[in-house]
Amino acid sequence: MPPNQFAFRHSIDVRFRDCDAMGHVNNAVFLTFLEQCRLMFWQTLTGTGSPGSGIILARVECDYRAPAYFRDVLEVRLNVGSIGRSSFALNHEIVNLATGKQLAEAKTILVAYDYSAGRSIPIPPETRTLLESVQSGGWAR
Amino acid sequence: MPPNQFAFRHSIDVRFRDCDAMGHVNNAVFLTFLEQCRLMFWQTLTGTGSPGSGIILARVECDYRAPAYFRDVLEVRLNVGSIGRSSFALNHEIVNLATGKQLAEAKTILVAYDYSAGRSIPIPPETRTLLESVQSGGWAR
Amino acid sequence: MPPNQFAFRHSIDVRFRDCDAMGHVNNAVFLTFLEQCRLMFWQTLTGTGSPGSGIILARVECDYRAPAYFRDVLEVRLNVGSIGRSSFALNHEIVNLATGKQLAEAKTILVAYDYSAGRSIPIPPETRTLLESVQSGGWAR
Amino acid sequence: MPPNQFAFRHSIDVRFRDCDAMGHVNNAVFLTFLEQCRLMFWQTLTGTGSPGSGIILARVECDYRAPAYFRDVLEVRLNVGSIGRSSFALNHEIVNLATGKQLAEAKTILVAYDYSAGRSIPIPPETRTLLESVQSGGWAR
């Protein structure tokens, strides 16, 4: 898949409450936007309504490029990155839809997890197949 | 204006982060939804971009009727209620757009305020005219 | 119990994220502060760790008197108000601990609720006894 | 400074609202905790009340190790990491104070910024001196 090609896009309306005393969207809220995109992607991909069932967030990296403001409409974009034994990466960008300007780049690491055993597990085969289909460009919404 | 007629409507996508450990939208977030509708209304009505300039929130009442959930699309509706010397009321309902079910009824009291003097002031005439046009049903979006 | 006597007090550190673009604590966050006080009270009163089990929030009223700012330490105070068949009221004030200034007065209505049946139920006798002991001034922390 | 030595520590009470439908503190809220620690540190270090004046957040990395829950008391710890021409790093850990368990490790990159010119600037000499004093272990609170 070409580097600027994203498999999933989710739009977000910036709320007044998303902003802080600096007058722009607070840094922590960018993770809320990533989460929103990730869960909508996950539901579309797997049909699983329950968010994050068996998949937990292990790491996030976010580079802030430009501010977002109240009333902006953003698009959070998502690609599947590297897939390991029990973890995989999602690569993101957040753009202002009206201007096309990139506001942030981010990467999250998700881990397949057995809650009852309290430890990571290999990515289930059917999930791996789905992730690979996204990664190879064979799936996009 | 008939009681079920609202002058302004604003739709909201419920985010995962809006929900709490009970699995539904947290009670405080309903006020964020009211605020979002109020500010979008105010901008549409007055053309004033700066939210709340000269108008402050003095009181809120909210009756919670039914829960909202992640991925629900809500509509926050707004009417102008009674208009006093320096304050006015906004009446709200929040409904689930897909089911039409009413989730909450709310009322907020806004006060015209002079920040430099630190006290309430009479509602400016041009604002009063706008509010009355909404109240009388002569304005709706 | 004298009107200025509160049965329970909970202190809150105002975070930067609690504030909005106006530079003071956002109106919705006051409900988060009330909730925090209410749940700490409930746990202290009943020993029940699970917040809100069987008790749901039906209504909130909040009068905003003065702003709160980042780094303020607030105290949320609570009294039991009127007790009905299946509902009861909690009366609140929020003050700035350093200045003693009252920032808000609020009232919440809580309802005993049977989640499986999906309707309100009479307040359980042991809960009623606890609420009455608070109301009469026989309990305070 | 030894690796486990932190120059600044800030405690946080976990609120019910910090948690999401999974029943534990939401991932985005960890960034709110980092921000709270960073701003308290900055004020203590520089005496500057206005948060983030001239310093902006450019990047955050966070590794989530274990969940935090409602009513937990956390401690966010901070060290100054590498100092560049116009940027510097803060290294963090978040621990549960009661158990001592590490819940997260994080790193933020801050950049000295001229808002009027809209670009990064060299770290002002007096700020650099302060940061170096923290980095070398000559300052701790």
**Shortest CA distance to C52 belongs to which of C120, C110, C122?**
C110
In 10 A of CB C105, how many CB atoms? 16
pLDDT: which is higher, C50 or A54: A54
Q: Where do the structural domains in chain B lie, given as residue ranges? A: 8-135
Number of alpha carbons in the 13 Å side-chain half-sphere of residue C19: 22
Using the predicted structure, report yes or no on whether residue C2 has a pLDDT greater than 70: no
SS3 call for B17:
helix
The pLDDT of B76-93, averaged and rounded, is 97
CA distance D91 to chain A (A): 14
Query: Phi then psi for B112, rounded to 5 degrees?
Result: -70, 130
Question: What pLDDT is attached to residue A118?
Answer: 85
Number of alpha carbons in the 13 Å side-chain half-sphere of residue B135: 14
Percent of chain D scoring above 70 in pLDDT: 94
Chain C partners (3+ C-beta pairs within 8 A): A, B, D
Question: What pLDDT is attached to residue D100?
Answer: 97
Q: Taking CA atoms, what residue in D is nearest to A21? A: D51
**Cα(D27)–Cα(D63) distance, rounded to whole angstroms?**
10
Among B16, B51, B71, beta carbon nearest to A16: B51
B44 touches chain D (CB under 8 A): no
Chain B residues in contact with C60 by the CB 8 A cut-off are: 27, 60-62, 64
Strand partners, D73: D13
| Assessment of whether the complete model's pTM goes beyond 0.90 | yes
The pLDDT of B104-127, averaged and rounded, is 94
Classify domain B8-135 at the CATH topology level.
Thiol Ester Dehydrase; Chain A (3.10.129)
Question: What pLDDT is attached to residue C1?
Answer: 45
**Cα(B54)–Cα(B118) distance, rounded to whole angstroms?**
11
In 10 A of CB A27, how many CB atoms? 24
Confidence of residue B1 (pLDDT cuts 50, 70, 90): very low
**Shortest CA distance to A75 belongs to which of A2, A6, A3?**
A6
**Cα(A111)–Cα(A59) distance, rounded to whole angstroms?**
9
D39-64 confidence digits (pLDDT tens): 999 999 988 765 556 899 999 999 99
| D23 Ramachandran zone, left/alpha/beta (phi>0; psi -120 to 50) | left
Confidence of residue B53 (pLDDT cuts 50, 70, 90): low
Q: Taking CA atoms, what residue in C is nearest to B34? A: C28
Using the predicted structure, report yes or no on whether residue D138 has a pLDDT greater than 90: no
